[in-house]
Structure 1
Amino acid sequence: MSRPVVVIVGRQNVGKSTLFNRITGGRKAIVKDEPGVTRDRIYGEAVWEGRSFVVIDTGGFFTGTDDEILAGVTRHALMGIDEADVVIQLFDSKDGLTPADLELASLVRKCNKAVLWVVNKIDNLKAEQRMADFYHIGGTVLGVSAEGGLGFDELMDEVISRFKPGSHSDSTTSELPKIAIVGRPNVGKSTLVNTLLGKEKMLVSPVSGTTRDSVDSICTYYGKKYVLIDTAGIRKKPNVVEDLERFSVVRAIRSIERADVVVFLIDATEGIVEQDKKIVSLIDRSGKGLILCINKWDAVDSPDESYRQFMDSVEHHFAFAYYAPMLTISGLMKKRITKIFPLVGEIVRERKKRITTGVLNRYVETLNKQLPAYKGKQTKVFYISQVAVEPPQFAVFLNYPEAIKDNHMRYIEKLIRQGYPFNGTPIRVYIKKRNR
């Protein structure tokens, strides 16, 4: 059976993300003393008393708003309730029981889920006295300090006691291929994730920078599962003016580090800009698999001519990532997006591929004919060996490493790729000194 799911809901700024981080044991949700920081549903894994379960952090519950994004946040919170087995409605002890709290509680009751009413910011005796304000909501009311940890153990014991018998699994996402969806703000990352998932998982809005967190989702394609990581858009440094935006950039970079393959989105209506080059360079240096996706292709006039122009532009701007395949897609119109998964599977296999030393040594003679002399002496390669995978890494052992320049490194890489293309993944070549 699948693992139980616990969702945390409540008004904005009651401490949901702080509690989420304490339960999952990490700083995954962005925490800041500002209403509405969490916008999407954030998923995490947790274990308590040997029981493994999934935790969902949601955006704040807003009432009576005409704001498109805030209404979307509320909708996502309700969708999180629908996914859950246990619902934690969190209250702020300092605010008392508000009409918005009661409105959300009424909606929670109608969902027929196991519910825990939890009052946050109970960190001293005076705060405990405020618990009385919440008792008439009915049922068990627990006090906790999400930040300080007071009452946390009791809360977690109550949570797992409400799991259905047998609702656990040893399955894990750690072995699934991880795909990070990366790009500048508003290139269509969340739209692509929603289309791949077939449901509205991410909050989508034309407002630039809607996604602030990196959100993991499980996607299945022809029976094979993948983890999709939708990242906050990476902005140019001068535009990262708030510490919250800066934290989102760090989160996006960490998502790249966690991924096996990065799908980098480029806006077809804007073309490749300098910031795109910097981000792709970051992905390349991280050693991750890479797919270049030209998104919003449905909005392009003269597709054939545009494709030729993009190919030239990719070759010019991303010459260092010549190994990366390119797709033209439309996340909105669902055009060619399913081609991503077979490519990801191929790249994951390529990243794990090993070449025996015997096969690699077939290149030794060719290399020795091309390498320059060093101080009048012959530069000689003795042997080549693959030393690591993900990404593939090779050590070239020779007598004069000082003779090898960047152009020789590129030549060695291309020589290896002639027999083994390693499509979609960078490879690393290291020069090692060895005396005969």
Structure 2
Amino acid sequence: MSEDGTWTDESDWELSDEGFDDDGEALAPPPVVAVVGRPNVGKSTLVNRILGRREAVVQDLPGVTRDRVSYDASWTGRRFVVQDTGGWEPDAKGLQQLVAEQASVAMQTADAVILVVDATVGATTGDEAAARILRRSGKPVFLAANKVDNEKGEADAAALWSLGLGEPHPISAMHGRGVADLLDEVVADLPAQSEVAQATGGPRRVALVGKPNVGKSSLLNRLAGAERSVVHDVAGTTVDPVDSLIELGGKTWRFVDTAGLRRRVGQASGHEFYASVRTHSAIDAAEVVVVLIDASEPLTEQDQRVLTMVIEAGRALVLAFNKWDLVDEDRRYLLDREIDRELAQLQWAPRVNISAKSGRAVQKLVPAMETSLASWDSRISTGQLNTWIKEVVAATPPPVRGGKQPRILFATQATARPPTFVLFTSGFLEAGYRRFLERRLRETFGFEGTPIRINVRVREKRKLKPR
């Protein structure tokens, strides 16, 4: 959270011309290609090669977590998003598991996956764990055998047939060798628009997250046991994250990566790192996140960090204050003051006071999750949005900046999940005015339980062409 209490900074508000037609209407979301693999196999080098060769847009998309960075790219005229999952440097003990979790999240959040393997090292247990999950994904998977700098190295690449992902593509991300051929095949297999962004079928995906010992496992067991209907655990090997399918309120819900959050890594030096990675992975793979907070203790910086992860990832949100059976009248008074002071920016999130231990009010979680998801999925028509914005601006115009008053020329909702709005303006809008517009959007249209993004694009005046 920034110093002025907002969740994003002003640099996130600018949007490139990509993604809009000449009339400012949002185009369909482009397909997503995730690049996964062990540390130091050349993932980021490959991403840079994909972007640099075509001189594609290389700005970070707003709202992504620090462990998963997305870039707009294009190849032979096809737009797509490249998702770089780099940045992990775990010790060897947990590497196999983390690579598998990374592959699992990519499988759920991307339309196609490139698994990068170091051909000079050969297939490791981490590579095999990732390949095992990706084989089951039903999505196009491309095996990039990296660090093949000459014809001699192609024999090393051929050995990677053993991963069961089809033909290895020998490449050198560093020098560009073979990358064009790989991209030709990737682009040929991509859907016209992102099927992940549009997907609505299947059980909704829920993550239970929170600081250690807040009651995540107890709540999951309560939800599963109370209904006595864990449909089954979707699992493969011991390193796979486990998704639990649980029937609640007449619907089946998929609780993602819950075993990963429960699993103890031991007291190794990287314990907190692993917990952070798992929390990021669970949030990335979810549609709605239930953040558990210990109501019996003061709010902590860890609670704030988890909430920031959810907001940055753009997921629907429910606040569950657990251990309510330990809250007396004095604590209740203090908690209300803490919420007003420290969670003022989250007044839009549904709040449920529960006890996983006793089962108190856990049945209220389902309506709260449904409310948040409905808001997260919602769209406002362009006509309705522009009528609304004209009324708001007429009553409260944007503040003057540099002696000129910016005008809002046109507004559109670029995407849902989360609702993202783009304002085409004649000048930049101040931070306070953007927050004012978000408040008014919520007052008029609800959006309970979902972050809202408002991007501002300043339109340059078009010069008249000489006759």
Give TM-score, length-normalised by structure 1. 0.55
The more displaced of 217-226 and 364-373 is 364-373
In structure 2, what is the equivalent of residue 352 of structure 1?
A: 377
Matched ranges for 1:257-336 at <5 A: 257-302=284-329, 306-336=331-361
Do the aligned partners of residues 149 and 185 (structure 1) sit closer, same or farther apart at CA in structure 2, a change above 3 Å counting?
farther
User: Cα RMSD over matched residues?
Assistant: 3.9
In 2: Cα distance, 1:343 partner to 1:21 partner: 33
The 2-side partners of 1:261 and 1:300 are apart by: 26
The alpha-carbon deviation at position 350 of structure 1 amounts to 1.0
Structure of larger gyration radius: 1
**1:431 counterpart residue number:** 456
Give the C-alpha shift of residue 20 in structure 1: 12
Q: Displacement of 1:366 after TM fit?
A: 2.4
TM-aligned CA distance change 1:215 to 1:241, over 3 Å: same
Contact 1:363–1:415 (8 Å) recurs in 2: no
Q: 1:405 & 1:319 partners in 2: Cα distance?
A: 20
Partners of 1:151 and 1:397 lie apart in 2 by 52
- Return the alpha-carbon distance in structure 2 between the equivalents of residues 25 and 264 of structure 1: 24
Q: Does the alignment pair 1:407 with 2:432?
A: yes
C-alpha distance in 2 between matches for 1:49 and 1:274: 37
1:268, distance to aligned residue in structure 2 (A): 1.9
> What aligned pairs does 1:201-220 form with structure 2 within 5 A after superposition?
215-220=242-247
Give the partner amino acid of 2:390: V
CA displacement at 1:283 relative to structure 2:
1.1
Give, as a single letter, the amino acid of the residue that structure 1 aligns with 2:261.
Answer: A
Q: Specify which of 339, 362, 366 is matched with residue 392 of structure 2.
A: 366
Q: Is 1:376 aligned to residue 414 of structure 2?
A: no
CA distance in 2, matches of 1:285, 1:19: 25
Per-residue deviation, 1:331: 0.4
1:266 Cα deviation after fit: 1.0
Q: Distance in 2 between matches of 1:376 and 1:296?
A: 54
Offset, 1:280 = 0.8
Q: Deviations over 1:89-142 (max 9, x none)?
A: xxxxxxxxxxxxxxxxxxxxxxxxxxxxxxxxxxxxxxxxxxxxxxxxxxxxxx
CA–CA distance in structure 1, aligned partners of residues 460 and 255 of structure 2: 47
**Structure 2 vs 1, CA of residues 183 and 399 (structure 1 numbering), >3 Å: closer, same or farther?**
same
Q: Secondary structure at the match of 1:194?
A: helix
Task: Measure how far apart 1:381 and its partner are.
Answer: 1.1
Letter of the structure 2 residue corresponding to residue 348 of structure 1: L
Residue 278 of structure 1 aligns to a residue in which SS?
A: helix
Q: 1:333 to 1:381 in 2, by over 3 A?
A: same
Q: Distance in 2 between matches of 1:49 and 1:428?
A: 31
1:248 maps to what in 2? 275
How far residue 320 of structure 1 moved from its aligned partner, in angstroms, is 2.2
C-alpha contact 1:398 1:434 (8 A) present in aligned 2: yes
Matching residue of 1:232: 261
- Name the SS for the 2:290 alignment partner: strand
Displacement after TM superposition at 1:383 (Å): 1.9
Does the aligned pair in 1 maintain the 2:210–2:293 contact within 8 Å?
Answer: yes
Distance 1:398 1:27 in 2: 37
1:257 aligned counterpart, secondary structure = helix
Partner Cα distance (2:268, 2:281) in 1: 20
Greater length-normalized contact order (CA 8 Å, ≥ 6 residues apart): 2
- Structure 2 length normalisation: TM-score? 0.51
* Change beyond 3 A, Cα 1:46–1:435: closer
Distance verdict in 2 for CA 1:196–1:27, change over 3 Å: closer
When structure 1 is superposed on structure 2, of 410-419 and 187-196 the one drifting more is 410-419
Aligned mates of 1:47, 1:233 — CA distance in 2: 25
Show the counterpart of 1:38.
none
Unaligned runs of 5+ in 1: 1-14, 29-43, 51-147, 154-171, 202-211
Equivalent residue for 2:186?
none
In structure 1, distance between residues paired with 2:97 and 2:212: 28
For 1:397, what is the secondary structure of its paired residue?
A: strand
Q: In the alignment, is the contact (CA less than 8 A) between 2:350 and 2:372 conserved in 1?
A: no
Deviations 1:295-333 (A, max 9, x none): 01112223xx54443232122112222211111100010
2:443 equivalent to 1:418: yes
AA partner of residue 225 (structure 1): T
- 1:137-167 alpha-carbon deviations (Å, 9 max, x no partner): xxxxxxxxxxx999998xxxxxxxxxxxxxx
Match of 1:324, SS state, is coil
Measured at CA, do residues 287 and 26 of structure 1 come closer, stay the same or move farther in structure 2, by a change above 3 Å? closer
Q: Supply the distance in 1 between the matched residues of 2:309 and 2:253 (Cα, whole angstroms).
A: 23
Helix, strand or coil at the partner of 1:232: helix
Aligned-pair CA distance for 1:267: 1.1
Deviation at 1:290, TM superposition (A): 1.1
Deviation (angstroms), 1:242: 2.0
* SS of residue matched to 2:261: coil
Aligned-partner residue type, residue 232 of structure 1: L
**1:113-262 pair list within 5 angstroms:** 175-198=202-225, 215-229=242-256, 230=258, 232=261, 242-262=269-289
Secondary structure of 1:196's match? helix
Whole-Å separation in 2 of the counterparts to 1:20 and 1:317: 33
Query: 2:317 and 2:337 mapped to 1: Cα distance?
Result: 18
2: CA distance, partners of 1:280 / 1:309: 20
- Structure 2: how far apart are the matches of 1:353 and 1:282? 22
Residues 233 and 252 in structure 1, CA contact (< 8 A), matched pair in contact too: no
Evaluate the alpha carbon distance shift between residue 294 and residue 434 of structure 1 in structure 2; reply closer, same or farther with a 3 A threshold.
Answer: same
Q: State how far apart, in whole Å, the 1-side matches of 2:322 and 2:414 are.
A: 37
Structure 2 unaligned blocks of 5 or more:
1-92, 107-131, 139-158, 165-198, 231-238, 462-467
Percent identity between the two aligned chains: 29
Query: Which deviations, in whole Å up to 9, do the C-alpha atoms of 1:369-425 show, x marking residues without a partner?
Result: 331123222221112211111000001111011xx2221110110111111110100
Instruction: Give 3-state SS (helix, strand or coil) of 2:307's partner.
Output: helix
Report how far residue 45 of structure 1 moved. 6.6
Q: 1:268 to 1:394 in 2, by over 3 A?
A: same
**Residue 262 of structure 1, CA deviation:** 0.9
**Number of equivalent positions:** 273
